[in-house]
Structure 1
């Protein structure tokens, strides 16, 4: 605070200016170059080589780091000669002035046009909002995968467009237009299959057996782990083809059995990927008890003809019982008849036991009563988006041009001049002269609009050099920030009328935040900010972590997203990201964390107690797992994640040729990874970085590679007892902590820094570019506004959306 006060005073009284190069260089020579030059290179920065051309801005980010380190007292380090407060004030003021002058010069020389390609997810959403068409660009063979920058998939400089990618966009446009305006209509059909039809081929013989035994219960389809069963076969719908591709509704009535205190049965429905696995298009827990079956309902997009299977995820108990003999005894049609677990007379005496004498499952099973498929379905809202796109069959050239202009303005998200469409109209007329029908010829023009750079890119700029966006450009930036898609009619109207300012802008932002499409922002931003693409990147070793399965991984991936949804919906303070007495969990996560199972299916808000050792993002299984390698936890990687995600500080890469951490030899004494890291960090080239990274990771050493709580670290090699875990440490600024709880408290003391980092992540996502020192003043304004509202999450997002920074190119 004292240093900051000196800085403010210096600025007010003009103690120094950018022209005072001599004192500036003298300070560097006296206090900085000694540790950051050819003789000694600390922190991967050579100050003697940093460019002094601040207008070019080549090393602006490095100079900004120097400014931050000196102003905070981190540089020079304590064991080096220390400058006086006056020297610090003069240096910081000089450097700050140089940076500002450089920023002004660069703003004046900015390029006239900027292009930001839509990510695959944004393309998918835009196609849906434009034409009501469901298209998955992430399917194999569709659009190329987006290049990530620290988890963010929408940074403009990263999203290039290769020739092969262009071909894929043309193919995608063909698919989209075929689904929007199919040559033949595929009417919705409904198929209902009972358990008797699915399992017993009509069940005439089985029903006779039930009648002889006097059993009145209906036949049910018993699904057990270790066997795939058909959930949808193409012939159920008769003759199927691509014209029947679309949205389908699945309804089924089911219940489950499980061991006392065991996990609920997990049902997975999808395409076959292995002898006992499917890809999981639909996944859910069956928590309904056997005597009270529940109707489950889902919607899923299917490429027809489709073949889908049911799969019950196996448990550890089943793994020991499964095998060919187990499956064969139960899978043959005549091998058993099932109505209820208490009807033991129906079970094949030669089959393995599945229920105890009280009817409890020895392992989890699913009891299916019936399933129903209906589709393809087209909602009225989807139909309305296509209304008026195609011109009438007898349309004149003028009417065709008007239709295309209206469509292009929606697709390109701005006013469109007629001459911009001349090339597409020429293609239309050429097709008509060749004998094509109006609709078919017009699709060629629509394809041109959908493959234009004006659709694939967000185009910001015009021939004049300008600093700010137009209202049309701003409307798109706003909608792609919070909806991951194009503006709607209301936002278009506001841009057209010039009311995206002041009170009019506030009304639009508040409307956007309450629209259901805000869930796209929740899903996309949380996934990218937290780098959740890394969950499951290194599958855990099944021998070391037998409780880890696909459903647990899926549940882990969803937990931080659902947590963010709850934080935003209730406008909770940012402290909740760091610690809380609740989380969002489903039955599988509750079993994994040792929590009371929620009463309802899906994710629910679950209370936590101190003994649960959870709370906030940092102790979630996804976060702890994505920073592991599948066999062991990695404290350094966890520390880097905390540094990047919570503080928005990316540590420098490790020096070249640094020896890796070696495993313990067979006859060596078992020691923790922490102890091996501490030995490694004694290397002079490593120590300076490790002291800023390691504490952030070592604080979570009580959690193993998949996020399970432990007191001892499992060491696979060496001799002796597995060592006790030590989660203590010292923060980079010298504050000590003894465990995860104290670490969280210390981070909470840095609330302003955490909030600033979150704001920076939001702005990077919204602006689609890496932030620079040029943005600092605008970021300060956003932070001041957010702080007035106690750093509540929705208020922070709102402050970013309303900020002046959002209008700048």
Structure 2
């Protein structure tokens, strides 16, 4: 008792002395901490290394401010004082928080710095493609972007390096050449051939069935679908038409189509898509347009069928895919000059043009590149670069290229210009809005409103958001925001072990991503409640996902909305295969990884990083112990228990789902357990290699809300506080859209937005409108 009185006295006299530290912490806060926190945080070895008898009270210091914000948040969350200690009355706690709130917000606002935000790789590519009306892949020429708070749009993580500038120079060459186009129009050609002429001789015996009007393939890896005789002789855009039908089947079958070096696969290939082909007398026409490089070809493979090693294609009765006549036409370039060239040159003949024509082009293009008016001195500087080239008797087109190349590498293009304080100008707001919803530069209508200083008017801004969401370019927002918010871009970070998860394939991967994109898109388009992200009574799936989810009655590769039964475990984001895939590795799942993901991405309350001296908890790959058992021992350490009490429950709830999103009652093992009598593959002809491991335990307790026995009950507990997903989404959208971390001084505005969205029905589209109308979005 005497020790406590002494420490309390020292704490009050020294740590908060106005004479020493300027008196920035109110007296009520000093009294609260002296009475409730000094026992643990005033000793020689204070808890968590926080010694309140030595903490500075000068909030102008960044580290000191961070400590005080952490103290505020721990008290607000009820984590301090700890449960075993005597708790302050609620009015006392509230008074403490209110007394700290304003000083912390003021200090935070004064210390906040606005960092110029560079266009990230995707924004760069979208911008040049939209600006010059071209289709080029230049993002992969640029170095990987840094990430902060889960997003690659945050200014503090988007630095510039020498390597990056060299990459921009190389990308500018590609952009200009694609814009100008080839020197003369290519000659279009039409190639038509029957597949029977393309069948390799080694496949003609028993592997495929050759018929008068085509061939029938029964195996998903059937090499007969590689049309080497139809390979392209020059790069360009080609139109392909394939005639196919389901053979010996009373229901549609599916095929995949790839384009590229399908013969040797040395240069790689890419997926065009999966298509349904129907039974009957009529052919199903698969038609697509894609870019081919020189000597590229395409291949068609059946999906969901398998002939069997000893079967004969000429006598088998199993379903197959019949492919008939194919056509390939190209390179396609029906208009000369190309749209991109005509748009840039605007009637100027390069063989007769002068430097004044370059000036005319730059006067038109630079304001688009800079997303604002270009000054005469800026235009003159770029014209000067072109003049230097022309003075050396080089072609006029080279002079234009040098000037545009310099503009594409300029800070005015690469960075979004925003003021360091005050409010955004309408022109800056136009860029911020456009790069949020279109991931690209603002169009003429948006800039015109900005130049009239009308974009900041609430109704005008609302109308523009609606117009932009209706545009096809808004698909980029859906893909890019979900790709970063939900970490869908990490879908290929690990590859499921083929022995443990032999059913994982390309179609499943593609379907996973498309399900989540379409799910988000539907909630946004129809302004459904954001609570659907936690739980929904509908899914958007195809046959491949329905098989994984054990849902009957869904056929075809096309995704469609499916109503879920009331007792289904599925619904919402947490049980979607894409989410379950990105929160696991290729072999096993971890409640820690999945729990951390839920806290960060759905609940919006990230767990602090583990202490550096605590080893990570890894599952026993031999199946001897479950990770739950290992985590129970891990929580014996009080410093670990505090975080794991929040992290582990959502991870345990998701243990009923494996690495690829399938439901499970037990873990798969390769080394121990009973053998599993199951097959897999298109026709279920291969026996699985995994064994039945230990049983899954998806039970747990969500602190302060109750126990759950499975993911269904866990989602019900989450739904007790629907504001948490609203709050999380608002924060994520603001970071994504503004390109900066939210700070303590933004919290009141975020809380106001949560209340406003709730009052307006909690719809996602409504939420987006509130975000774009907010003070945070319209400020630097």
**Fold-level similarity (TM above 0.5):** yes
| Residue 93 of structure 1 pairs with residue 51 of structure 2 | no
User: Cα distance 1:60–1:587, how it changes in 2: closer, same or farther (>3 A)?
Assistant: farther
User: Cα distance 1:18–1:378, how it changes in 2: closer, same or farther (>3 A)?
Assistant: farther
SS of 2:287's partner is strand
1:35 positional shift: 4.1
SS of 2:404's partner is helix
Q: Distance in 2 between matches of 1:486 and 1:407?
A: 13
Q: Distance in 2 between matches of 1:371 and 1:64?
A: 66
Deviating more after overlay: 217-226 vs 584-593: 217-226
SS of 1:805's partner is coil
Q: Distance in 2 between matches of 1:693 and 1:193?
A: 60
Counterpart position of 1:578: 534
Q: Distance in 1 between matches of 2:334 and 2:569?
A: 47
- Tell me the TM-score normalized by structure 1: 0.83
SS of 1:427's partner is helix
Deviating more after overlay: 618-627 vs 83-92: 83-92
User: CA contact under 8 A between 1:251 and 1:295: conserved in structure 2?
Assistant: yes
1:644 to 588, 600, 603: 600
1:310 to 274, 277, 299: 299
SS of 1:157's partner is helix
Q: Distance in 2 between matches of 1:385 and 1:43?
A: 63
Q: Distance in 2 between matches of 1:259 and 1:66?
A: 68
Counterpart position of 1:160: 159
Q: Distance in 2 between matches of 1:191 and 1:710?
A: 52
Alignment of 1:265-276 (within 5 A): 265-272=255-262
- Tell me the TM-score normalized by structure 2: 0.85
Q: Distance in 2 between matches of 1:634 and 1:54?
A: 40
User: CA contact under 8 A between 1:18 and 1:95: conserved in structure 2?
Assistant: no
Counterpart position of 2:213: 218
User: Cα distance 1:760–1:91, how it changes in 2: closer, same or farther (>3 A)?
Assistant: same
Deviating more after overlay: 220-229 vs 481-490: 220-229
Deviation sequence 1:138-191 (CA, Å, 0-9, x none): 44xx11122223441221111111111111111111111111113513436243
Deviating more after overlay: 282-291 vs 447-456: 282-291
Counterpart position of 1:482: 437
User: CA contact under 8 A between 1:115 and 1:457: conserved in structure 2?
Assistant: yes
Deviating more after overlay: 54-63 vs 564-573: 54-63
User: CA contact under 8 A between 1:273 and 1:279: conserved in structure 2?
Assistant: no
Q: Distance in 2 between matches of 1:262 and 1:684?
A: 58
SS of 1:714's partner is strand
Q: Distance in 1 between matches of 2:663 and 2:557?
A: 25
Counterpart position of 2:506: 550
1:703 to 638, 643, 657: 657
Counterpart position of 2:130: 129
| Residue 658 of structure 1 pairs with residue 614 of structure 2 | yes
Deviation sequence 1:663-708 (CA, Å, 0-9, x none): 5597xx9543322322222223311111010001101111122211
Counterpart position of 1:248: 238
1:688 to 642, 645, 653: 642
1:38 positional shift: 7.2
Count of residue pairs brought into register by the alignment: 734
1:27 positional shift: 2.5
Counterpart position of 2:753: 782
1:59 positional shift: 4.8
Counterpart position of 2:371: 413
2:278 to 273, 283, 288: 288
Counterpart position of 1:10: none
Counterpart position of 1:147: 146
User: Cα distance 1:701–1:425, how it changes in 2: closer, same or farther (>3 A)?
Assistant: same
Q: Distance in 1 between matches of 2:507 and 2:649?
A: 32
Deviating more after overlay: 624-633 vs 258-267: 258-267
1:32 positional shift: 3.1
1:600 positional shift: 5.3
Deviation sequence 1:614-661 (CA, Å, 0-9, x none): 111100111112111211111111100100000222211222243444
Counterpart position of 2:478: 522
User: CA contact under 8 A between 1:54 and 1:101: conserved in structure 2?
Assistant: no
Alignment of 1:376-391 (within 5 A): 376-377=332-333, 385-386=343-344, 388=346
User: CA contact under 8 A between 1:233 and 1:308: conserved in structure 2?
Assistant: yes
Counterpart position of 2:425: 470
Alignment of 1:231-246 (within 5 A): 237-238=232-233, 240=234, 244-245=235-236
User: CA contact under 8 A between 2:65 and 2:108: conserved in structure 1?
Assistant: no
SS of 1:749's partner is coil
Alignment of 1:350-429 (within 5 A): 352-354=311-313, 359-361=317-319, 365=321, 367-377=323-333, 385-386=343-344, 388=346, 394=352, 397-429=355-387
User: CA contact under 8 A between 1:627 and 1:633: conserved in structure 2?
Assistant: yes
| Residue 192 of structure 1 pairs with residue 191 of structure 2 | yes
User: Cα distance 1:659–1:579, how it changes in 2: closer, same or farther (>3 A)?
Assistant: same
SS of 1:250's partner is strand
SS of 1:58's partner is helix
Structure 2 gaps of 5+ residues are 1-21, 675-691
Counterpart position of 2:81: 76
Q: Distance in 2 between matches of 1:220 and 1:378?
A: 33
1:754 positional shift: 1.2
